[in-house]
Every structure is written in structure tokens, then in C-alpha cells.
Amino acid sequence: MSTVGARRRSRLLRPAGFDDLGLRRAISDRLLPFLVAAMAFLALLALAAAAAAAGLAQHWRQGAGATLTVQVPRPLDEAADAPGDSRQAAVLAALRATPGIAMARALTEDELTDLLRPWLGEGAAKLSVPLPGVIEVRLAGEDAVPPGLADRLAAIAPDVLVESHGIWLTRLAALARSLQACAALMLLVVVAVAVAVVAVATRAGLSARREAIGIVHGLGATDRYIAGRFAIRATLLAGSGGLAGGLAGLPLLLGLAQLAAPFTAAAAVTPAAGSGGALPPRLADVLAVLPPSLWIALPLLPLTAAGIGWITAQITVRRWLLRLR
């Protein structure tokens, strides 16, 4: 009888679920899933950090990047180019007539007092020093400051000051990119550690079942068959660990996302109507806190862990069998 026929006959006679290599004892079903779950948990945190940095950068671009502040000294004085109008009114009219500006609004005295209160306390409302007029400007697009705007406003009201947030936006964008780079580096480290964990567990299993592998190999089992048996075991354990790590990190991500919602313009989670704040928020509101990229990453965690387990076990076993010859 040929070797192929004998191998086929042995597979037919082997009962379902038969562990001919004793891998259930060789590769522990406790330590490897636990370590992979820890790696999946850290990977989920790294992905969350990258998503949070991207969300904050987008929020800053839509907020600070699309906003200007115009200060008009002596706002109640008469404008030189518009007799009968105050300097602030003339500047405000020029801003509203400028293409590329979506909104221009002069802050009231109460709003100016509120802005100064954190630095001057309650005495901010009793200042004897005249305050400049402050105009809040919203641009139609991000980083689309109309060219020559400061010169045109200075011609209407000398000493006018136009403050853009470009320098701060550049620094914040650099900070967001740095956070994303750190998260990517952390993700690479987690993947490398996961590969090492699976490789060490597989090599320990090979050493523990060395004699059984030698006997099965001598009876005609191919390298592909032996590596496949180890790979299936490692895939199941790594996949279950990745699933457990993702589920363990989900509540933490929901809590952190809810705390960060005011900074990323995300919808705040509020209790259901009529609950008086005692009932938990609606499930739909809670789930809407996380960005879509994280919901995509969650099911990919166990799949990626299973893939790492399969590939690492295949390579480790085949290299070990080559040295065995």
C-alpha cells in the first residue's frame, strides 16, 4: 500500500477530534489565550489613541482653524472712511462684505467680561481702562483666510489687530501626528510581542511532544500535516484571546470616549427622558460615542490574532522540522 493510501486510511479510522500529537497538553489553553488577550487589549488602546488624535486634529481644524479674532481699539470712535459710523461698525460691515467669511459678530460687553473674569476675577466688570471691541469671525472654509484682509481693515480702522490661530493649529496638528506615530509604534510592539508569545508557546509544545512528533513523522506524516495541526491549535487559542481582549477593552473605551466627547464635538450621552438621571443612558447613545473606525477594528482584533497564531505556528513548526532531519 502506498504512503498516500495509508495516510488516507489512517485519517478515516481516526475518530473525530482525535489529538494524535497531544497538543491539548502541549500548548496550554490558559496561558497563551491570556497573553494574547493582554496584547489585544493593548492594541485596542493603541488604536483608540490613534483615533482620538485624529478626531482631535479634525476638531481643531474645524474650530480654531476656521476662526479669526479681530480687535478694534477705540471701537466707539468715528471711522475715517465712514463718517457717522463707529470704527467697530465699519470693520464689522467690511468683514461681512468680504468673500470667504461666513459669519462676523461683535462680542457684547457681558461676553468680554466673561472672557476676562478668569484672569481678573469679579473686578473685570469694573475696569476703568477702555476695552477694545472684539469681533468673532467664522471663515467659510478651513485655513481660507482672505488675502489682504488685515491691510483692508487697517485702512478702515488703524491699529486694528487680526489674530489667526494658524501657529497654534500647526503645533496642535504636530502634536496629533506625534500621538498617532506613538500609537502606531505601540501597535507594532504589541504585534511583535504577540508573535513572540505564540512562537515560544509553539516551540514549548514541540519540545514537549518531540517523541510523538518523531513517531508520527516516521509513519508518513508530512511537515504540512504536523505544522497544520499546531497552527490550528494556535489559531483557536490566539483568536479566543483576541476576542477576550477586545471585549475587555470595550467598556473602558466607551467610558473614555464619553469623557472626551466635549473635546471632539461628539454627542454627549444623556439619560433617557423621564429617568431623572437614575437610569442608564440609551444603548444607541452609548454606542454612538465611539468612532466608526474603532467599531471596524473590534471584530478585526480576534481575526488578526488568529492570523498571527496561524502564520507564526506554521513558520515555527516548519523551521523546527527542518532542523529535526
pTM of the predicted model as reported, rounded to 2 decimal places: 0.66
CA dist., res. 221 & res. 229, Å (int):
11
Most confident segment among 145-154, 171-180, 254-263: 171-180
Question: In which band, very low, low, confident or very high, does the pLDDT at 268 lie, cut at 50, 70 and 90?
Answer: very low
Instruction: Tell me the pLDDT band of 43, cut-offs 50, 70 and 90.
Output: very high
Helix (H, G, I), strand (E, B) or coil at 229: helix
Determine which of 43-47, 199-203, 257-261 has the lowest per-residue pLDDT on average.
Answer: 257-261
* pLDDT value at residue 156: 82
* 24: amino acid identity, one letter: R
247 or 167, greater pLDDT: 247
What's the average model confidence in pLDDT over 307-322?
91
**In this predicted structure, what is the pLDDT of residue 187?**
92
CA dist 126 to 56, 76, 107, 288, Å? 37, 19, 18, 45
Question: pLDDT digits over 53-95, tens only?
Answer: 887 777 666 665 567 888 888 888 777 666 667 888 888 888 8
Question: What average pLDDT score do residues 46-59 get?
Answer: 80
Model confidence at 295: pLDDT above 90:
no
- The domain segmentation of the chain, as residue ranges, is 19-61+177-324, 74-159
Among 76-90, 139-153, 189-203, 253-267, name the most confident range.
189-203
Order across the sheet with 133-139: list the strands. 101-106, 133-139, 67-72, 161-164
Q: Which helix (H) or strand (E) holds 204?
A: helix 166-208
Residues 6 or more apart from 108 whose CB is under 8 A from it?
Answer: none
Radius of gyration of the chain, Cα coordinates, nearest whole angstrom: 33
Higher-confidence position of 166 and 191: 191
For the cut 60, the answer to whether the pLDDT of residue 281 exceeds it is no
Q: Using the predicted structure, report yes or no on whether residue 278 has a pLDDT greater than 50.
A: no
pLDDT of residue 272: 41
What separation in angstroms does the CA of 207 have from each of 35, 143, 182?
Answer: 20, 62, 37
Phi and psi at 45, nearest 5°, equal -65, -40
**Going along 25-176, which residue ranges are E strands?**
67-72, 101-106, 133-139, 161-164
Among 44-53, 144-153, 230-239, 303-312, name the one with the lowest average pLDDT.
Answer: 144-153
Q: Is 302's pLDDT higher than 70?
A: yes
Is the pLDDT score of 285 beyond 70?
no
* The pLDDT value given to residue 287: 62
